[in-house]
Amino acid sequence: MRLNFLYISSIYILFSLLPVYSIDSKFIPINRDIKINQEMIILDGELNNKKFVLKNIDKLTIVNFWASWCKPCVAEIEELNNFQNYIIQEKLDVTLLGINIFDRLDDANKFYLKHHPVFEMLFDKERTISIEFAVAGVPETFFIKDNKILFKYVGKIDKEILKEGYDEAFK
C-alpha cells in the first residue's frame, strides 16, 4: 500500500514538472517588479575598484549571474561575447551585464583576464544582489525591462537563446 502511494506520488510529481522543464519552455516567467540601487565593482583585470551602480533598469537589460569555478559559466562566455558583438552589429537597444557572485574579487578578476569578456562584468562586493534576484545557482540569466524581471533562463545559455529572449521581451 505504501509503495503504491510512493509510486503514484512520484508519477504525479514527474508529470506536474513536465510543463516547467519541457524542451519548449526555455524561459521561466517571473514578472516581478524590482527596485535596485546597488554599487558594484567593474571587473577589468585589475584591482582598481572602479564602481558601477545598477539602478532604474528601464531599457532591456540581460543580467547573467556567474562564478569563476562554474564550468557552464566558463563554457557560455564565448556565447555571451558573440551576443554582445551581435548587439553592437545590429545596434540593438539592450545592455548585457555579467555579475559575479559566490566568489572572491581576485578570483573574479583572474576569470576576467583568462576569458576576455567583451561585455560589462561586475563583482557584487556586498553579496546581496543574488538575494534581490532570488538566484538559486549559476549560471542564471535574467531579462529585465521597465524595472521588472520578465523571465529568467537557468543553465548555460547561448547566442540563439539570448536572441530568443530578446525577441520575447518585446512581445
Summarised one tens digit per residue, pLDDT across range 53-72 is 999 999 999 999 999 999 99
Average pLDDT over residues 109-127: 96
Q: In angstroms, how far is CA 14 from the centroid of its own chain?
A: 26
* 106 burial type by CB count under 10 A (0-12 exposed, 13-18 middle, 19+ buried): exposed
The pTM score is 0.84
Nearest alpha-carbon partner for 26 in 169, 171, 157, 167: 157
What would the grid cell of residue 94 be? 539592450
Specify the higher pLDDT residue, 15 or 76. 76
- What are the angstrom distances between the C-alpha of 22 and each of 41, 60, 160? 37, 26, 18
Nearest alpha-carbon partner for 142 in 162, 126, 158: 162
pLDDT digits (tens, 9 = 90+) for 145-159: 999 999 999 999 999
Domains recognised in the chain with CATH numbers: 27-169 (3.40.30.10)
